Chain A
Amino acid sequence: MTLQFVFHYPETNGSDGDLLDSGALDDVARAAETAGFDALALTEHPIPGARWLHTGGHQSLDPFVALAFAAAATSRLRLLTHLALAPYRNPFLLAKAAATVDKLSGGRMILGLGAGYQKSEFHALGVPLDDRGALFDEVLDCLPLHWKGEPFTYQGRNFDARDVMARPKPVQDPIPIWIGGNSKAARRRAVERAQGWMPMIGPPELARTTQTPTLANFDDVAVAIREMQDEAEAFGRTEPLDFLSSYSDSTLTDPTVDVERHRTRLGELEAAGLTWVIVTHPRCEPAVLLDWLAAFGSEYIGR
Chain B
Amino acid sequence: MSAPAAPEASHGHTTLEEGKFQIYVQIAMLLAVITGIEIITVYLPFAKWLLVTVLVVFSAVKFLFVIFFFMHLRWDKPFCTILFFIGLILGGGTMFALLKLFGMRESLPLPLP
Is chain B a partner of chain A in the same complex? no
Interface residues of B (CB under 8 A from A): none
Interface residues of A (CB under 8 A from B): none
